[in-house]
Amino acid sequence: MRLSQYFIPVLKENPKEAQIVSHRLMLRAGMIQQSSAGIYTWLPLGLKVLSKIEQIVREEQTASGAHEIKMPTIQPAELWQESGRYEDYGLEMLRVKDRHDRDMLYGPTNEEQVTDICRTHLKSYKSLPLNLYHIQWKFRDEVRPRYGVMRGREFLMKDAYSFDLSKDDARKAYNRMFVSYLKTFKRLDLTAIPMEADTGPIGGDLSHEFIILADTGESGVFFHKDWEQTNLVADISYDEDLQSVVDRFTSLYAKTDETHDEATCPVAKDKLLKRRGIEVGHIFYFGTKYSQKMGATVSGPNGEMKTLHMGSYGIGVSRLVGAVIEAKHDDKGIVWPASISPFDAGIVNLKPGHAGTDSITDQLYQDAKTEGFDILLDDSGDSAGAKLASMDLIGLPWQAIAGPRSVDKGVVEIKNRKTGASEEVTIKEASARLLAVLSG
Residues forming contacts to a second copy in the complex (CB under 8 A) are 5-7, 9, 30, 33, 35-36, 39-44, 47, 50, 65, 67-76, 91-92, 94, 96, 98-99, 102, 104, 106, 113, 116-117, 120-121, 126-127, 130, 132, 137, 139, 141, 143, 153-154, 381
Least gap, CB of 237 to a second copy (angstroms) = 17
Identity of residue 201: P
Toward a second copy, which CB reaches closer, 137 or 301?
137
Residue type, 414: I
- Cα 390 to Cα 417: distance, rounded to the nearest angstrom: 12
CB of 66 to a second copy, least distance (A): 10
CB of 273 to a second copy, least distance (A): 37
d(CA 306, CA 353): 74
Cβ contact 212:184 at 8 Å? no
Of 375, 374, 373, 384, the residue nearest 349 (C-alpha): 384
Helices 167-187/242-250 angle, 10° precision: 60
Between 39 and 338, CB nearer to a second copy? 39
For residues 74 and 432, which CB has a smaller minimum distance to a second copy in the complex?
Answer: 74
CB of 6 to a second copy, least distance (A): 6
Distance CA 311, CA 288 (A): 9
Using only C-alpha atoms, what is the Rg of the chain? Answer: 25
Nearer CB in complex with a second copy: 72/295: 72
Q: How many CB atoms lie within 10 A of CB 12?
A: 8
Answer whether 282's CB lies under 8 Å from 200's CB.
no
CB-based burial of residue 203 (10 Å sphere; 0-12 exposed, 13-18 middle, 19+ buried)? middle
CB of 149 to a second copy, least distance (A): 11
Single out the residue of 383, 416, 414 nearest to residue 397, CA to CA: 416
For a second copy, the closer CB: 41 or 251: 41
The answer to whether 137 and 156 are in contact (CB under 8 A) is yes
107 or 395, CB closer to a second copy?
A: 107
Q: How far is the CB of 364 from a second copy (least distance, A)?
A: 22
Give the shortest CB-102-to-a second copy separation in angstroms: 8
Nearer to a second copy, 277 or 311 (CB): 311
Please tell me whether residue 277 adopts helix, strand or coil conformation.
strand
| Closer of 69 and 272 to a second copy (Cβ) | 69
In what helix (H) or strand (E) does residue 438 lie, and over which residues does it extend? helix 427-438
User: What is residue 146's DSSP assignment?
Assistant: B
Strand ranges inside 288-330, DSSP E: 297-299, 305-307, 309-316, 329-330
What is the C-alpha separation between 346 and 154, in angstroms, rounded? 31
Q: How far is the CB of 340 from a second copy (least distance, A)?
A: 16
Minimal distance, residue 210 CB to a second copy, in Å = 25
Toward a second copy, which CB reaches closer, 117 or 234? 117
Shortest CB 154 distance to a second copy, Å? 5
CA–CA distances in Å: residue 177 to residues 53, 69, 301, 320: 17, 17, 26, 18
- In the complex, the smallest distance separating the C-beta of residue 63 from a second copy, rounded to whole angstroms, is 13
Question: Which of 97, 428 has the CB closer to a second copy?
Answer: 97
Q: Which is nearer to a second copy, 3 or 192 (CB)?
A: 3
CA 117, chain centre distance (Å): 26
The CA distance from 412 to 409, in Å, is 9
d(CA 330, CA 420): 11
